[in-house]
Amino acid sequence: MTKTTVESQSVDASSDRAILQVDALGVRFGAFQALTDLTMEIRPGEIVGVIGPNGAGKSTLVNALAGVVEAGTGSVVLGGCDLGQARPVRRARLGLVRTFQTAQLFGSLTVRANIALAARSGSGKALDAAIGHALKVLRIEHTLDATADRLSGGQRKLVELVRALACGPRVLLLDEPVAGVPMRDRAAVLDLMRHEVAERGASILLIEHDMEFVSSVCDRLYVMNAGALIAQGSWQEISTNPAVLEAYLGAVSTPSTDVGDQKKEPK
């Protein structure tokens, strides 16, 4: 696969090699090293989980991939295109689309307008159908004419997911998509993620503390602690890995111990 620069605007989707390749990514906030030498890849059609205790650097990773924070070292290559210092809007237009841990909607705009703003760069019936499908699966069609600030926290998270899908992502970065979403609605989010992969060929990087959710949908997982990767593999492999158990529990535990589902309020 030929690697191009972001200026050339072309993204090679013909290869079944990694759609997203992250090499030796490092982020510093002043004297604090938030991400260290982080290398990972996502292949087309994969749902890859990133888990780790609070403060491990998961959101910082998404922020760096999305171009919201600047990586001091390393590279991010999307479909053969080195993103370099590309700004967030440019990355989204190339298909690297993220949601936020706390939904970032325009509160005074309607749900319809929030989604339409995101869909501006995309077009066509297929995208409209995908948005309609997502609204239906998530059962939030009735909120379309409400302003976003009238929604519950859980509804805002679901709308933000639809808004991200409306960008036509090739790689979707989901930062705790079900935090604040009632348990009864989480299966619908799973269905939607699987549909996005199966029907539209997207790849997904999922950050989530709900381990039942993570283990049921991810093909593979990376585990972070203190800004670095400490393990990777299948759910079976990482959930019995002593280093992972130690990161979560502070001590090596028995292999049968669940990796902690750190319930917490969304930020």
Ligand X SMILES: Nc1ncnc2c1ncn2[C@@H]1O[C@H](COP(=O)(O)OP(=O)(O)OP(=O)(O)O)[C@@H](O)[C@H]1O
Q: Which residues bind ligand X (CB under 6 A)?
A: 29, 32, 34, 52, 54-60, 101
How far apart are CB 228 and ligand X at their closest, in Å?
A: 11
Query: Residues 148 to 167: which contact Mg ion by CB under 5 A?
Result: none
Least CB distance from residue 76 to ligand X, whole Å? 16
Of these partners, Mg ion, ligand X, none, which one is at the site of residue 52 (CB under 5 to 8 Å by kind)? ligand X
The CB-of-28 to ligand X minimum distance in angstroms stands at: 9
Closest distance of CB 129 from ligand X, Å: 33
Of 19, 40, 51, 59, the residue at the interface with Mg ion (CB under 5 A) is 59
Q: Which of the choices ligand X, Mg ion, none does residue 29 contact, using the CB cut-off of 5 to 8 A by kind?
A: ligand X
Task: Give the interface size with Mg ion as a residue count (CB under 5 A).
Answer: 3
CB of 103 to Mg ion, least distance (A): 13
Q: For residues 117 and 121, what is the distance between their CA atoms, to the nearest angstrom?
A: 8
Spatial separation of the C-alpha atoms in residues 201 and 126, rounded to whole Å:
13
* Residue span 87-126 as binding mask against Mg ion, x where in contact by CB under 5 A, dash where not: --------------x-------------------------
Name which of ligand X, Mg ion, none residue 57 binds, using a CB cut-off of 5 to 8 Å depending on partner kind: ligand X
Supply the minimum distance, in Å, between the C-beta of residue 82 and ligand X. Answer: 23
Q: Are 232 and 221 in contact (CB under 8 A)?
A: yes
- The binder of 72, among ligand X, Mg ion, none, by C-beta within 5 to 8 A per type, is none
Distance CA 203, CA 171 (A): 5
- What is the Cβ-side half-sphere exposure of residue 94, based on CA atoms within 13 angstroms? 31
Q: Which does 125 bind (CB under 5 to 8 A by kind): Mg ion, ligand X, none?
A: none
Nearer to ligand X among residue 32 and residue 85 (C-beta):
32
Which residues form the interface with Mg ion (CB under 5 A)? Answer: 58-59, 101
